[in-house]
Amino acid sequence: MRSCKTCTSTHKEEIEAKILDGFPCEEISRWILEEYNEKISGQAIRNHLKYHMLPGDILPSNIILEKINQLDDKINGIRELSKLINLNKRRLADLMAHELRLGCGKRPVFLSETRRVMKELREQLSLYFKIVY
């Protein structure tokens, strides 16, 4: 069984520090070769990251929890916006049905109310897409 080149390197801590700092594995591989004349491939460093570094080493639990909370906030925001969008879609459908029943007599009221609902829908959809994307 072969041992991990990163684990057995005398520069393991430096390599892991570079991983945690976000350096690409290929760049770390070139750095370790240039700096210490030690050959560790980018793939070997990726394998070390994947199999030997704990998730808490890569991202501390407080950061993971913070990211989860941020996602929860986004999901809740999307749910609320979705409710508002559906409500305004129903309002618009009701306005259109009302207009069809009345005919042409109250068209200015219908148009102004329709514009207001459409404006709300555009704003809500814009906000929705900002949250999602």
Residue 17 and residue 77 in one domain:
no
Residue 111 and residue 96 in one domain:
yes
Q: Choose one of 58, 75, 102: the last residue of a domain.
A: 58
User: For position 31, what pLDDT does the model report?
Assistant: 97
The number of domains in the chain is 2
pLDDT tens per residue across span 42-97: 999 999 988 888 766 666 666 667 778 888 888 888 888 888 888 888 888 887 78
Q: What residues make up the domain containing 46?
A: 5-58
User: For position 132, what pLDDT does the model report?
Assistant: 65
CA angle 86, 88, 92 (to 5 degrees): 115
pTM (2 decimals)?
Answer: 0.44
DSSP 21: T
User: For position 9, what pLDDT does the model report?
Assistant: 95
> Which has more confidence, 90 or 107?
90
Mean pLDDT of 118-123: 82
